Structure 1
Amino acid sequence: MRIATYLHDGVQRAGLVADDLVHPFADGLDARAVVALGLDAALALGAETIARTSGVPLADVRLLAPLAPASVRDFVAFEEHVEGVRRSIDGTGGVPEAWYDAPTFYFTNPHTILGPGDDVPFPADSVARDFELEVAVVVGAGGRNLSVDEARDAVFGYTVLNDWSARDLQSREMKVNLGPAKGKDFSTTLGPWIVTADELEPYRDAEGFLDLACTASVNGEVVGRDLLSNMGWTFEAMIAYASRSSRVVAGDVLGSGTVGNGGCLAELWGRRGQQDPPPLRNGDEVTLTVEGIGTLTNRVASAEPAPRLPPVRRRDSAAARRDAAALREAGARTEAAARREAGAR
Structure 2
Amino acid sequence: MQWVTYDAGEGIRTGIIDGESVRGLAPGTTLEGLLSRGVETLHEAGADARRSPTEVRPLEDVKLLAPLRRPPSVRDALCFLDHLRNCNRALHRDPTLHPAWFQRPAFYFANADAIVGPYDDVPIAPGSGMFDLELEVGAVIGRGGRDLHPDTAEEHIAGFTLYNDWSARDHQQLDRAQGIGMGKSKDSAITLGPALVTVDELEPYRRDGRLALELSASVNGQELTRGCLDQMDWTFGEVLAFLSRGTDLRPGSVVGSGTVPGGCLLEHVDTPDLAGFTRWLQPGDVVSLRGEGLGETSQKVVAGQDVIPLRVLG
What TM-score, normalized by structure 2, do the two folds share?
0.94
Range moving further from structure 2, 174-183 or 125-134: 174-183
Q: Output the amino acid matched with 1:22.
A: V
Contact 1:195/1:293 (8 A) holds in 2: yes
Task: Choose which of 74, 77, 93 in structure 2 pairs with 1:75.
Answer: 77
Residue 84 of structure 1 aligns with an amino acid whose one-letter code is N
CA distance in 1, matches of 2:270, 2:244: 33
**Map of 1:165 onto structure 2:** 167
Shift of 1:176: 2.3
Aligned equivalents of 1:57 and 1:227: distance in 2?
31
The answer to whether the Cα contact below 8 Å between 1:87 and 1:271 also exists between their aligned partners in 2 is no
**How far is the alpha carbon of 1:90 from its aligned partner?**
4.9
Give, as a single letter, the amino acid of the residue that structure 2 aligns with 1:127. Answer: G
- Write the distance in 1 (CA, Å) between the matches of 2:271 and 2:87: 8
The residue aligned with 1:34 is 34
- The answer for the alignment partner of 1:263 in structure 2 is 263
The answer as to whether partners of 1:283 and 1:300 remain within 8 angstroms in 2 is: yes
Give the deviation of 1:149 after TM superposition: 4.1
Once residues 95 and 244 of structure 2 are traced to their aligned partners in structure 1, the CA distance between those partners, rounded to angstroms, is 31
1:68-120, Cα deviation, whole Å (9 max, x unpaired): 21111001111110101123345543222111111110111000100021111
Does the 8 Å contact 2:212/2:230 carry over to 1? yes
Q: Which residue of 1 aligns with 2:300?
A: 299
Q: Is the strand fraction higher in 1 or 2?
A: 2
Unpaired runs of 5+ residues, structure 2, are none
Within-5 A mapping of 1:1-345 = 1-26=1-26, 28-53=28-53, 55-67=56-68, 68-206=70-208, 208-260=209-261, 262-269=262-269, 276-313=277-314
Q: Cα–Cα, structure 1 residues 50 and 70, in superposed 2: closer, same or farther, change >3 Å?
A: same
Q: CA RMSD in A?
A: 1.9
- Greater fraction of residues in helix: 1
Aligned equivalents of 1:96, 1:20: Cα separation in 2: 49
Q: Out of 34-43 and 140-149, give the one that drifted further.
A: 34-43
* Structure 1 Cα separation of the partners of residues 287 and 38 of structure 2: 32
Structure number with greater Rg is: 1
CA contact (8 A) 1:89 1:171 kept: no
**Structure 2 CA distance for partners of 1:97 and 1:6, relative to 1, 3 Å:** same
Indicate the percent of aligned positions where both proteins have the same amino acid: 39
Please report how far the alpha carbon of residue 247 of structure 1 lies from its aligned counterpart in structure 2 after TM superposition: 1.6
CA distance in 1, matches of 2:35, 2:2: 12
| Per-residue deviation, 1:39 | 3.0
Provide the rounded CA distance (Å) in 2 between the counterparts of 1:285 and 1:276: 13
**DSSP-derived class of the 1:41 partner:** helix
Residues 71, 253 of structure 2: 8 Å contact kept:
yes
Count of paired positions = 311
How far does residue 310 in structure 1 lie from its aligned partner after superposition?
A: 0.9
Give the Cα separation in 2 of the matches to 1:271 and 1:102: 30
Q: Which is worse superposed, 88-97 or 6-15?
A: 88-97
Range moving further from structure 2, 142-151 or 225-234? 142-151
